[in-house]
Structure 1
Amino acid sequence: MGSVTVYGPPISTAVSRVLACLLEKDVDFKLVNVDMAKGQHKSPDYLKLQVLSLPSPLLLHHRTPTPSLLVLMSLILTAYADRGNKNLLGRNGGGPAERAQVEQWLEAESQSFNPPSSALVFQLAFAPRMGLPQDPAAVELNQAKLAKVLDVYERRLGESRFLARDEFSLADLAHLPNAHYICSAGKDDMLASRKNVARWWEEISTRPSWKKVVDMYSAPPA
């Protein structure tokens, strides 16, 4: 199996999901940091690698460019099914029922958790980096929306150790970047105030794979 190269800044929530997935699967990779502040993501050399211009990491596997984040994750899990964590789609790869549960909670992340949490991440974490003023109304609105989602998660996590079942899966992994930024920005009470969510967050955020990704946030560009 050929080597894997990921192009993008590790602080990107999309890039960090891919990195966490690769680390869970014990896949060696090369990270080529792209400085978006300097517009490197718009350079001809970068754009020619992409089939589509999307705000996602670019993974080159056997020199095949793939722009979709979900495709990237699926590619990793399929190509390296026998490596590392084999439970990301359910125990030992998962049967149809287990995969369906993982997909159900991936959909919940995409449709319910991601919109308000991404808005909060932008306002709390990235707007200050970009020298932009925060919008208090947007913070308040999306915090209220996210609170309702987390109430649903609280009930679910009272029944199950992780979202899909009792094994850490891709559904849990997908929540790591946004939740990390929200907690780091001083809104950690949104998770800590909910007993089951707090227990779940403590467990997934201390996984060795995710801790390595967080370490990359402050590492100098390669």
Structure 2
Amino acid sequence: MTIKVYGSMFSTATLRVLLCLAEKDIDFELITVDLASLEHKKPHMLARNPFGQVPAFEDGDLKLFESRAIARCISLTYAGKGTDLINSDPKKAAVEDVWLEVGAHKFDPAVGTLVWELCMKRFLFGQNGDEDIVNEEEKKLVSMLDVYEARLSESKYLGGDSFSLADLSHMPIIKFLMGTEVKRVFEARPHVNAWVADMLARPSCVKVFGVPAY
């Protein structure tokens, strides 16, 4: 049975799942949910994700929501395919998990508002971002990327020498921000800049971001 992902190309969480599937070289069907019309809040979607968010995921009789849990499930279920996204060494896997958590609880909250103001308002509603909010949120991004620069001066990827779920989980937000004025904040940090360039050149990223939004 074909894996189904209910979501949107405007959703960083949906893109996280699609990137994972692409890294594992797994075919899937993307069932587009119209976020602008609040389709994700309607009964047929609430039945799949009770929090009224995307994505929702179906692999046979397995039904999941929450993108990082879905990505971990894909990585473990299809461990023999594509890229190994979870290290088999428990200690190295633990380091990857640390940075997966950092991404979820520190990076995404710090930069999510920037993505909304600079990207999603324009994509979904044809509105410009609030300049005052952008300036304030950019300060948070600067502080956050200083931490990432220090980490990436020690290893090529966040979890160590190998690309992992920790890196993949950052890709959607970063991809959106690379098309905005805050790109310069990433480029000003050589190790962060090299990390971003490496990730965005991956075949999975090229494949997923080549899918039309509608």
Same fold (TM over 0.5): yes
4+ residue runs over 6 A deviation: none
* Contact in 2 for aligned 1:116/1:146 (Cα 8 Å): yes
Per-residue CA shift, 1:198-222, capped at 9, x if unaligned? 1111101110001111111xx163x
Per-residue CA shift, 1:90-138, capped at 9, x if unaligned? 2xxx221011010010111112211121110001001223244522222
1:181 to 176, 184, 192: 176
* Residue equivalent to 2:38: 39
2:190 to 176, 182, 195: 195
| TM score, norm. by length of structure 1 | 0.90
1:1-222 equivalence runs, <5 A: 2-50=1-49, 52-86=50-84, 88-90=85-87, 94-129=88-123, 130-216=125-211, 219=212, 221=214
| TM score, norm. by length of structure 2 | 0.93
Which range moved further: 52-61 or 168-177?
Answer: 52-61
* Contact in 1 for aligned 2:3/2:57 (Cα 8 Å): yes
Over 3 Å counting, the alpha-carbon distance change for 1:128 and 1:167 in structure 2 is: same
* Contact in 1 for aligned 2:6/2:54 (Cα 8 Å): no
What's the CA shift for 1:161? 0.7
Instruction: List gaps (5 residues or longer) in structure 1.
Output: none
* Contact in 2 for aligned 1:117/1:179 (Cα 8 Å): no
* Percent pairwise identity: 34
* Contact in 1 for aligned 2:3/2:29 (Cα 8 Å): yes
* Contact in 2 for aligned 1:18/1:72 (Cα 8 Å): yes
Query: What SS class does the counterpart of residue 215 from structure 1 fall into?
Result: coil
Root-mean-square deviation (Å): 1.5
- How far apart, CA to CA, are the structure 1 residues paired with 2:115 and 2:213? 22
Instruction: List gaps (5 residues or longer) in structure 2.
Output: none
Query: What SS class does the counterpart of residue 180 from structure 2 fall into?
Result: helix
Over 3 Å counting, the alpha-carbon distance change for 1:29 and 1:189 in structure 2 is: same
- How far apart, CA to CA, are the structure 2 residues paired with 1:99 and 1:142? 31
What's the CA shift for 1:182? 1.1
